[in-house]
A = this chain, B = another copy of it.
């Protein structure tokens, strides 16, 4: 049985507590939360502490707090030479304070409080200082996911940027599409199957090959008509830049 302590009570911490609680071979021995109320629905009260000195021994401590607080929290841990990992895509492993053995346990997914996720489909990116700790992290990751990747800190930084493009920015394009629908009394629902299919296509096809639409066809008449229809400067600018980028990319192929 792997004993795990989760430090943090936000979005990622809650999803991890929920996943580990369901997993075989893993026990959430404690959780640290400044506001215990955040996770009282997930763990019995006696397992939640708000004082670092009350943390008991665990095989792995998972710091799931906001990026800016990771170093500080890791420095406050009142023990040495235990395995401490963070869950961030953008923070290098060595920003963890060095009095403990360090590692990273980065689940690459977009977590919302309002929607449960299926952890088994979530890639977990692992990194550690020693091969022995790496084995522990693999055991932990395997308990909740089938997709495990060995990713070093430099790669993880790039992966995080790629994820911003593939997720945060695409979501914003959905928002702009939804705005355009609202402006013309169209239900956003009409676009939902298209959104699903667009994401489904690139599961099997390289995205550059899946590209369709007026930009890649160099259909300048349609592009011009679209630009005239768009009212907001912001929408126009994004339309133009992405159209140019699609065309420049197609030329490189």
User: Interface residues, chain A, CB within 8 Å of chain B?
Assistant: 67-68, 90, 108-112, 114-115, 117, 121-123, 125, 147, 149, 151, 154-155, 157-178, 180-181, 183-216, 219, 221-222, 225-226, 229-230, 234, 237-239, 241-242, 245-246, 248-249
Complex CA gap A71/B246 in Å reads 28
Contact between chains at A162 and B175 (CB < 8 Å): no
Closest Cβ of chain B to A210, distance in Å, is 6
Taking CB atoms, residues of chain B closer than 8 Å to A246 are 168-169, 172
Q: Which of A90, A114, A173, A191 has the most CB of B within 10 A?
A: A173
Closest Cβ of chain B to A103, distance in Å, is 18
Taking CB atoms, residues of chain B closer than 8 Å to A199 are 170, 195-196, 198-199
Taking CB atoms, residues of chain B closer than 8 Å to A196 are 121, 199-200, 203
Protomer copies: 2
Contact between chains at A170 and B174 (CB < 8 Å): yes
Taking CB atoms, residues of chain B closer than 8 Å to A170 are 170, 173-174, 195, 198-199
Complex CA gap A185/B158 in Å reads 10
| Contact A212 to B122, CB < 8 A, known contacts A112-B201, A160-B226, A198-B110 | no
| Contact A161 to B110, CB < 8 A, known contacts A174-B166, A199-B196, A245-B238 | no
User: In the complex, which of the residues B111, B160, B162, B197 contacts A109, with contact meaning CB atoms closer than 8 Å?
Assistant: B197
Contact between chains at A207 and B175 (CB < 8 Å): yes
Q: Can you list 7 residue pairs at the A/B interface with Cβ under 8 Å?
A: A155-B186, A158-B186, A165-B180, A171-B201, A171-B210, A176-B245, A196-B203
Complex CA gap A87/B253 in Å reads 30
**10 more A-B contacts (CB under 8 A) besides A121-B193, A123-B190?**
A110-B210, A111-B212, A155-B185, A165-B177, A166-B173, A167-B213, A169-B173, A170-B170, A170-B195, A174-B210
